[in-house]
Amino acid sequence: MKEFKNKTVIITGGSSGIGRATAELFAEEGANICIASRNDINGIELEKKLSKKGCNIKFIKTDVAKVKDLEIMVREAIKFFKSIDILFNSAGFEGRIKEIKDTTVEEWDEIMDLHLKGCFVASKLVIPYMIKQKNGVIINVGSEIGSSFRFAPNYVPYGTSKAAVMAFTKALAIELAPYKIRVNCVSPGAIKTPMLEREIGKWLERGLYKTREDALESIYNSYPIGFIGEPIDIAHAVIYLASEKSHFTTGTVLSIDGGGGII
């Protein structure tokens, strides 16, 4: 039996990386899926791919840093699917990777708008529907950089935004508990995604490593487990947090980081 049959999930950043892997896993579990992403090429491609497999899916081009886009996203999801049972705030961006003294106010706002304000606004918009339904699940994406500061140099805006998302998760969980709406957060370490590849490219441009292989070796060596994760590793955690198997779990930040957060 498909656990999420007749359940509707919105996934921001759903066209690639962790969001895409999660969408594909939810599709296998029978969910109705709304993919929200700025990347319309990847979004439309995934919509077609999962539709052919029998998934009830809709792609909505969305920039989560724009309130109007998020309003359209939620309105279209309700129009198409009639309900919103799960919100996965997955959209993310690595930021400019520079020292704070060289970071502009605009660059700071850019990452806060995407990670924190986008998470807040999307949640704010779906909560009334979840309250009316008397149930719902919101899952956010933090980061080990939001709690372990071994990578702090050049990642101050990113780490700050993710720490705020994790705090937002806990505070919102308390507020929504009386409505039986659960709010949790996954906190990934390094994951093989397009975002990681972009980061490595920036490191090479700055001369931090000579080759991509050198950069990858350094990343692998920074994790006790000796390797980095795949998007599916995070997707499995999201599926768990969205399921009834975690019905007693709220306000939790689930670390999936190969032990990186404990060193």
d(CA 125, CA 142): 20
Measured N-to-C along each axis, helices 231-242 and 17-28 cross at an angle, to the nearest 10 degrees, of 50
CA dihedral 219, 224, 226, 229 (to 10 degrees): -70
Residue 237 belongs to what H/E stretch? Answer: helix 231-242
Q: Find the catalytic residue in 129, 155, 158, 223.
A: 158
d(CA 146, CA 155): 10
Q: Is 158 among the residues known to form the active site? A: yes
> Which amino acid is present at 101?
K
Backbone angles phi, psi at 85, to 5 degrees: -100, -30
**What residues act catalytically?**
158
